[in-house]
Structure 1
Amino acid sequence: MNLSAQTYATEIRRLLDQVTASSQAAVEAAAELFAGCVRADGVIHAFGTGHSQAVALEIAGRAGGLIPTNRISLADLVIAGGQDPSVLDDPMLERQAHVAGPLFELAAPRPGDLFVIASNSGVNGSVVEMAHLATSAGHKLVGITSLDHSRQATPQHESGKRLLDLADVTLDTGAPYGDAILSLPDGSTACAVSSVTAAVLVQMVVAEAVRRLLSGGTTPPVYVSSNVPGGHDRNLGLEKHYAGRIRRMAY
């Protein structure tokens, strides 16, 4: 494979075509969970660590997205939970299951709330523990992961489970083992794909959820950009309905 910008563009388009075609049933199932959560006055909690934080940001608090969304972040331990900032110095924090409990409590989910957890490997301790906590409390769970990578990776949680084992619906990023797709001379690879495919899958789910809400007579509570006239005030007005349930912190 030639290593170039155009090669990556060609390969990512090929992968996107593959992922969008093969994920239709999962997208529809996830969209029904999203729409059902909104109809029931619930909140969609999005959690991801490492680069999967970008997927959580794709769900929670962005222009064109649903307003009843809450991003759960490792930084919540400090900003909302009052722990010493040094707790975030651990580069392996995302692999530790014990951090999920405090994060879950800080999110304070209500019955009917939905969880979306993104992890390309789907095996790290905090991710799997959060999935355990959510499903054990009766919440539906959408997982966003690479089936190829996750099935080859060794589970890090004491249960031996992966995210895909616990999710009610799994969206497959289609990323290969290791995520990157362009071959290098030494046998390694460059240029990851999961962030791109996961973002597209999220927006497909949102589009289908919005369609379902509209067809059922529900006005979708959707963000407009805060960078257009009146956008910020409009969003704040709609967010008031979910006061204390969604966090919009700049981190």
Structure 2
Amino acid sequence: MNYSYPALAHKVIDDMADRQASAIDAAVDLITSRLRRGGVLQAFGTGHARIPVHEMAGRAGGLTSVNLVRLSDLAFRGGYAPADVADPLLERDPEIAAPLFELTAPAPDDVFLIASNSGINGAVVEFAMLVRDAGLPIVALTSVAHSTSTPSRHPSGKRLLDLADVVIDNGAPPGDAALDLGEGVVVGAVSNLAGVVAVQLLTEGIARAMLEQGEKPPVYRSMNLPDGDERNAAATARYQGRVHPIEA
């Protein structure tokens, strides 16, 4: 069988890396400046958009100054029952954003990366509005094509991209699936493919920028290497209580 997704994947990645180079650079500059002041990158996503932000947090080769923010934090750390956060439509509820933002408890030098392919759901938009109200900057990872072609589900009518300081467009089409097989069958979602590449570009860019400015970036080493646990303990000590384990 001849598969078309590999060619599509290469095109999506190459297009994003080319078209979004200036946005990636701007995001790197913004995030680096906050991290060098002692801030944390708060990385938030709902639904499948959790995948790229999860990729940036708590992994080998990633920055130790990234805190993963999820709706499930309300159950793990916020006293909510698991059933309260299990609804797949919870991301549409703007009222869930306030308790999550309060639980996140960002510091004045923190910065947010918020991922949402559509950028229209109530919880994501409300969360971004709370971030802005707190005077903190936002980098958005979203599909501009989807977001601008679909009505917002937030009462304000705003979308994530309306609230961001920097917008990284993942290049996904409305609906995300990009491979038309005919007969009305469209497969091949690309938002997370592009999103994972985007956050790895951010990680590389931030690490390079810190090194150029004479500062060694705090980076995780694989816990499956002999010295991994020891090195990670030293690298994460300064973020105790601010960067939470990704499995809890």
Shared fold by TM > 0.5?
yes
State which of 70, 79, 84 in structure 2 corresponds to 1:82: 79
The equivalent residue for 1:128 is 125
Query: What do residues 5-61 of structure 1 show as CA deviations (whole Å, max 9, x unaligned)?
Result: 631101110121111100110000000112112110000000001111111111211
Q: Say whether residues 1:153 and 2:124 are aligned partners.
A: no
- Which of the numbers 180, 183, 188 marks the counterpart of 2:185? 188
SS of the residue corresponding to residue 6 of structure 1 reads: coil
Q: TM-score, normalising length from structure 1?
A: 0.96
Distance, in Å, in 2 between the alignment partners of 1:21 and 1:181 is 19
- Matched residue pairs, number? 248
Separation of aligned partners in 1, 2:74 and 2:226 = 34
Kindly provide the amino acid, as one letter, of the partner of residue 167 in structure 1.
Answer: A
Confirm whether residue 197 of structure 1 aligns to residue 194 of structure 2: yes
1:43 correspondence with 2:40: yes
CA distance in 2, matches of 1:33, 1:5: 43
Q: In structure 1, what residue type is equivalent to 2:201?
A: M
The CA deviation at 1:181 is: 1.2
Q: If the length of structure 2 is used for normalisation, what is the TM-score?
A: 0.97
Instruction: Give the Cα–Cα distance (whole angstroms) in 1 for the partners of residues 65 and 15 of structure 2.
Output: 30
Q: Which runs of 5+ in 1 are unaligned?
A: none
Structure 1 equivalent of residue 56 of structure 2: 59
**1:107 is matched by which residue type in structure 2?**
T
* Alignment deviations for residues 81-100 of structure 1 (CA, whole Å, 9 cap, x no partner): 01122202322111111111
Name the aligned partner's letter for residue 190 of structure 1. V
Provide closer, same or farther for how the CA distance between residues 249 and 18 of structure 1 changes in structure 2, counting only shifts above 3 A. Answer: closer
- For the pair 1:16 / 2:50, whether they are aligned, the reply is no
Q: SS at 2:3's partner residue?
A: helix
Q: State the alpha-carbon separation in 2 of the partners of residues 126 and 111 from structure 1.
A: 22
Distance (whole Å) between structure 2 residues aligned to residue 5 and residue 15 of structure 1: 19
Residue of structure 2 in register with 1:167 after alignment: 164
Deviations 1:176-207 (A, max 9, x none): 11111111333231010111111111111111
More displaced, 177-186 or 103-112? 177-186
Indicate if the aligned counterparts of 2:47 and 2:88 stay in contact, CA closer than 8 A.
Answer: no
Matches of 2:8 and 2:53, distance apart in 1: 24
In structure 2, the gaps of 5 or more residues are none
- The amino acid across from 2:126 in the alignment is E
- Aligned partner letter, 1:132: M
Q: 1:92 to 1:242 in 2, by over 3 A?
A: same
Task: State the one-letter code of the partner of 1:115.
Answer: F
Aligned partner (choices 217, 236, 242) of residue 220 of structure 1:
217
| Cα drift, residue 149 of structure 1 | 0.7
Secondary structure of the residue aligned to 2:245 is coil
Contact 2:44/2:69 (8 A) holds in 1 = yes
Q: CA deviation at 1:211?
A: 1.0
Equivalent residue number for residue 107 of structure 1: 104
User: Which of 33, 50, 72 lines up with 2:30 in the alignment?
Assistant: 33
TM-superposed deviation, 1:233: 2.1
1:235 matched to 2:225: no
Residues 84 and 170 from structure 1, CA distance in 2 versus in 1: closer, same or farther, beyond 3 angstroms? same
